[in-house]
Structure 1
Amino acid sequence: MQTRTRRLLTVLAAPAAALLLWTAAVPLGGVDLTVDQAGTPLTVGPALVAAAALIAGLAAWGLLAVLERFTARAALVWSIVAAAVLAFSLTGPLAAATTAAMLVLMGMHVLTGTIVITGLVRR
């Protein structure tokens, strides 16, 4: 499989996996995914989940492409940056209204990050 095709499938798999987790947790599990967004409650729905995962995947792919043009160690540099971004992103779910919501949101972050990190740099 060509690199571009594999990377496109990776970027598309990330939101698909996040949506599967959202489906298992919210409609099937009854978890209320509400977070405090600057004092306003925000319900995390499927569109937000898909958009966030897709944007993160596209941004990651774009950064990797830029690094591949300018450095010989692009995969290593990108992997370190991606892991740091994933770790930082885990602070967002701390604003969840409930512990269950926080755990589900963290799970979505880790799932999306794992798919993107392993899928984009794999040879």
Structure 2
Amino acid sequence: MTSPTTAAPSAATSTVKSRATAVAAATVAAALVWALGKAFGAEYEVAQGDGKDPMDVNVGLVIVFALISSLLGWALLAVLEKFARPKAATIWVVVATVVLVASYGMVFSADTTGGTKTALALVHTAVGAVLIPMLWRSARRGA
């Protein structure tokens, strides 16, 4: 009788799994922080101007934007690894941090309450705080 053999996961499979986990964790973190903000009274309504009704920043919108931005971060890291491998992780962390800091500009310039601004800033921070270190750790280094 022979026993089945199991192959160790390839490096590519491990990288994909790590990065998918990072994207999922960042998205869940955004939703959880949004829910905490809601529980503490954040209204999540942002005026749109031009006489339009205020936009409701609901949890679905938060999830979609966290997911899209996380996937874009993953894609950028993959491109950098292809074309700038020795410095890909460093370049990616700098770009990701700049994007996170720039995103606060949108939050703090929004026409909404201070509580909503704070809650939204914390949502942005949660995504960055989870995604940046997790994707950085998954980066392939070397030539």
Q: Please list, as runs of the form range in 1=range in 2, the aligned pairs for 1:3-82 lying within 5 A after superposition.
A: 3-26=15-38, 28-39=39-50, 40=52, 41-71=54-84, 72-82=86-96
TM-score by length of 1: 0.92
What is residue 101 of structure 2 aligned with on the other side? 87
What is residue 113 of structure 1 aligned with on the other side? 128
Please report how far the alpha carbon of residue 97 of structure 1 lies from its aligned counterpart in structure 2 after TM superposition.
1.0
**Structure 1 residue ranges (4+ consecutive) displaced by more than 2 angstroms after TM superposition:** 36-40
Give percent identity, aligned residues only: 36
2 CA distance for matches of 1:50 and 1:37?
Answer: 21
TM-score by length of 2: 0.80
Q: Which runs of 5+ in 2 are unaligned?
A: 1-8, 139-143
Residues paired across the two proteins, number: 122
Q: Please tell me whether Structure 1 or Structure 2 has the larger radius of gyration of its CA atoms.
A: 2
- Alpha-carbon displacement from aligned partner over 1:64-108 (angstroms, at most 9, x marks no partner): 000000012100111111111001001111104100000000000
Task: Give the aligned CA root-mean-square deviation in angstroms.
Answer: 1.5
